[in-house]
Amino acid sequence: MPTFMNDPTMPTPSFPGSHMVVDDHYVFISGLTVADLSNGHAARGDVKEETRLVMRALSRMLEMEGGSLADIVRVDIHLTDLHAIQDMDSVYAEHFEPGRYPARTCTESPNLYGGSSIEITVMAKRQLQSEQ
């Protein structure tokens, strides 16, 4: 049975959804932008800094469930300007072991929550209790 949960360090979602849904095998994290983070507003407009802050928040959320960014198997990224993909990738790639990148989709979405430049959604494999 899935568990529906919100990250206590972030505001309750303004949409009918949860920050995370966890089942026996996966952690699903809803799209996250700097506008969702209490410390993210100053970074708005700088895709590198927005990427860095969102990836840190995703890492923290996965750690709450006993995982890490290395457990991510699928990522969806939305950028307000697809021409910024190289800037985003330069920061994104730092968070993974070279050659062990999750499956990914990256699209251009002109309007993201709170005027953010990037939104990232992830699906991560949960560690079985015997693997931890």
Q: pLDDT tens across 37-69, in order?
A: 876 666 678 899 999 999 999 999 999 999 999
Domains of the chain, start order: 3-7+17-127 (3.30.1330.40)
The answer to whether residues 115 and 55 touch, using CB atoms and an 8 Å cutoff, is no
Q: What is the mean predicted confidence (pLDDT) over 94-102?
A: 96
Rounded distance between C-alpha atoms, residue 83 and residue 19, angstroms: 28
Tokens for 47?
A: 């895709």
**Tens of pLDDT, residues 60-93:** 999 999 999 999 999 999 999 999 999 999 999 9
Q: Read off the DSSP letter of residue 34.
A: G
Q: What is the rounded CA–CA span in Å between residue 22 and residue 101?
A: 22
Among residues of the chain, what percentage have pLDDT more than 90?
75
